[in-house]
Amino acid sequence: MKITKSDIEAVAVKPSQYPPENMKEIAFAGRSNVGKSSLLNLLTGRKKLAKVSGSPGKTRTINFYVINDAFRIVDLPGYGYAKVSKSMSQEWGGMIEQYLQTRDNLLKVVQLVDIRHEPSKQDLEMYEYLRYYGLDGIVVATKADKVSRNQIPKQIKQIRKTLKLGEDDIVIPVSALKRTGYEELLDVIEGLLGE
């Protein structure tokens, strides 16, 4: 699949601001600064579609992007930054959780983790949450340019172990900097949309 058209459709903090459930959606989740917005820009080939920042907590709303007039990618705010000490459920304060729980046209959530680090406790909580709702199965390991080529399999193995991934779950190393890995993710998304 190639993305030839992409546009922001809605910015929401509550369900009344969501667009209608008339297109399938794929959401990006992960801790602040992991590279969710950068991944959206990489997939769409648009450098400035989503705002990216070196300091965590850039995306604070749920942003809906229409892709090829056919489906949506939803860029979620990151977790694990603002109120580190609070539990996941408190921290989400409803916004992300509400979206994940109520959105009938949500197909899958792509969970992003930084390839350099062992997934955090919150990453694991997030993934287990996704598993509970049947939204799991796709993990993107971001910032693959930050580790040497031969480190990649080792890091992926650790991600698989820590997140307790099953054999059918996939981990795709991606670099927004080097623009690598995204074709595989697009193929996976295409497969999901065709199911």
Binding site residues, Mg ion, CB under 5 A: 36-37, 58-59
- Residue nearest to Mg ion as judged by C-beta position: 59
Q: Which is nearer to Mg ion, 79 or 165 (CB)?
A: 79
Smallest gap, in angstroms, from Cβ of residue 9 to ligand GTP?
Answer: 18
Using CB under 6 A as the criterion, which residues of the chain lie in contact with ligand GTP when the complex forms?
30, 32-38, 52-54, 56-59, 77-78, 142-143, 145-146, 175-177
Least distance to ligand GTP, CB of residue 155, Å? 13
Which residue lies nearer to ligand GTP by CB, 35 or 137? 35
Question: Residues 6 or more apart from 161 whose CB is under 8 A from it?
Answer: none
Partner whose footprint covers residue 143, from Mg ion, ligand GTP, none (CB < 5 to 8 Å by kind): ligand GTP
Which single residue brings its beta carbon nearest to ligand GTP? Answer: 78
User: Residues of 125-164 as b/e, b for ≥16 C-beta within 10 angstroms?
Assistant: bbbebbbeeebbbbbbbbbbbebeeeebeebbebbbebbe
| Residues contacting 180, CB < 8 A, separation 6+ | 144, 145, 173, 174
Whose Cβ is closer to ligand GTP: residue 22's or residue 149's? 149
CB of 105 to ligand GTP, least distance (A): 22
Nearer to ligand GTP, 42 or 67 (CB): 42
Strands in 71-75's sheet, in edge-to-edge order, are 6-12, 62-67, 71-75, 25-30, 106-114, 138-142, 170-173
Kindly state the smallest distance separating residue 57's Cβ from Mg ion, in Å: 9
Q: Closest approach of Cβ 112 to Mg ion, in Å?
A: 10
Nearer to ligand GTP, 137 or 181 (CB): 181
